[in-house]
Chain A
């Protein structure tokens, strides 16, 4: 809806505050579902908001050897990246606020910006655990990024365009996940890698390296990183829904689709043990990329020869 004033779209709805609140809701659903699956009670509905307020009210302590400007600016940059990505992705059944040719690449790049900000923040912290965490974060970034992009590429190749709204038009209400099954699965699993959810949570393995790259973060910086993680969750699910589950126009159906994706992701999260970083890289480079490429080849062959 390009009639919507872009400032309002960026700050309040559907980007900005709306996406952050929706993200906090999704984080709560994830935690509550995870608790119930483990036969526990789980937090009450306002827990993520309460965590956020608590963090915002604490003093921010900057490590002695860190660059203070970078320390303070990087969380803001991460949040800004995610909120900008919200402009290009169809949320809640409405068309994307802005649509430019090539915005699929822009969105994926903005989502990687968040991970790179986390990596830089950890490197800036100069603590021992942070440095190990940074190595793992960046290694994981390089391993799942290629299959993720290849998986998102398959609807793009079929539609012949890099623009999300045109891909959605090409889908025209059909659910592409049935014709691109492998890409769909790879996109979901790579999304788990991007969000650092188990089994791919080696970068923030609490029993090995305390907090990973964000070990030294506290107060306002940590609150902003958590917010950007929550918003990233919404944007990631929205992207996969838009490309593979037919661009819907019904808000309720969109909500149901993303919640089903969240349920599937949480189920996988609970069932698996954490993978070591070298096992993650091995998995992605051996199976992930190969399968994605195979899927693309099959589809191209189908399109050129059969049709």
Chain B
């Protein structure tokens, strides 16, 4: 019904011999990440109102919002990047734009589990929040 040829990929194959290989030699060559790339979660505390929608909407429970004082705007945010699926639902849910996903932090591999937990906030607030949580646990135990 139609003509059949032998070796139809001949042009491609011979050209491929003289072109630079299509392989990207990572880690010696790193490509630019596009600006919309969904990387590590970044929290801007000044814009946050403590509504907690980001933590509620996260599909994998990677975000934890601890509210110490809503009026004084003292919040602590706990982020587990090994549970995060990088879907950006938190960024969409936040009406103040306090959460975004950094496009230049995408090489996130590490050797220890502990480095995957990030706690954001004022250092005193963090200490107070963690103490309160430890207290609750000893109460329950």
A residues with a Cβ closer than 8 A to B are 33, 35-42, 267, 270-272
Shortest distance in angstroms between B13's beta carbon and chain A's nearest beta carbon?
5
Decide: B9 and A36 in contact? CB cutoff 8 A: no
- On whether the beta carbons of A36 and B10 are closer than 8 Å, the reply is no
Chain B residues near A35 (CB-CB < 8 A)? 21
Q: Give 15 A-B pairs besides A37-B13, A40-B22, A40-B23 with Cβ atoms closer than 8 angstroms.
A: A36-B21, A38-B16, A39-B16, A39-B19, A39-B22, A41-B21, A42-B21, A267-B13, A270-B9, A270-B13, A271-B7, A271-B9, A271-B10, A271-B13, A272-B7
Give the contacts of B7-52 with A (CB-CB under 8 A): 7, 9-10, 13-14, 16-17, 19, 21-23, 25
Cross-chain contact A41 with B13 (CB below 8 angstroms) = no
Give how many A-B residue pairs fall within 8 Å (CB-CB). Answer: 32
Across-interface contacts of B7 in A (CB, < 8 A):
271-272
CB distance from A31 to the nearest CB of B (A): 14
Q: Which residues of B contact A (CB under 8 A)?
A: 6-7, 9-10, 13-14, 16-17, 19, 21-23, 25
Chain A to chain B contacts (Cβ below 8 Å), 6 pairs: A38-B13, A38-B16, A40-B22, A271-B7, A271-B10, A272-B6
Nearest-Cβ distance from residue B25 to partner chain A, whole angstroms: 8
Residues of B contacting A41 with CB < 8 Å? 21, 23, 25
Q: What are the residues of chain B within 8 A of A271 when measuring CB–CB?
A: 6-7, 9-10, 13
Ranked 3 nearest A-B pairs via Cβ: A39-B16, A271-B7, A41-B21
- A38–B13 alpha-carbon span in the complex (Å): 6
> Chain A's nearest CB lies how many Å from the CB of B41?
35
Distance to closest chain A CB from B19 (angstroms): 6
B6 to chain A, nearest CB (A): 8
Q: Are A37 and B21 in contact (CB under 8 A)?
A: no
Q: Which residue of B lies closest to A42 (CB)?
A: B21
Nearest Cβ in chain A — how far from B16, in angstroms? 4
Q: Point out the residues of chain A lying under 8 angstroms from B22, CB to CB.
A: 39-40
With A and B bound together, what is the CA distance between A267 and B25 in angstroms?
26
A56 to B20, CA, bound (A): 35
With CB as the reference atom, state the residue of chain A lying closest to B16: A39
Minimum Cβ distance to chain A for residue B27 (Å): 15
- Chain A residue nearest in CB terms to B18: A36
**Distance in Å from the Cβ of B17 to the closest Cβ of chain A?**
5
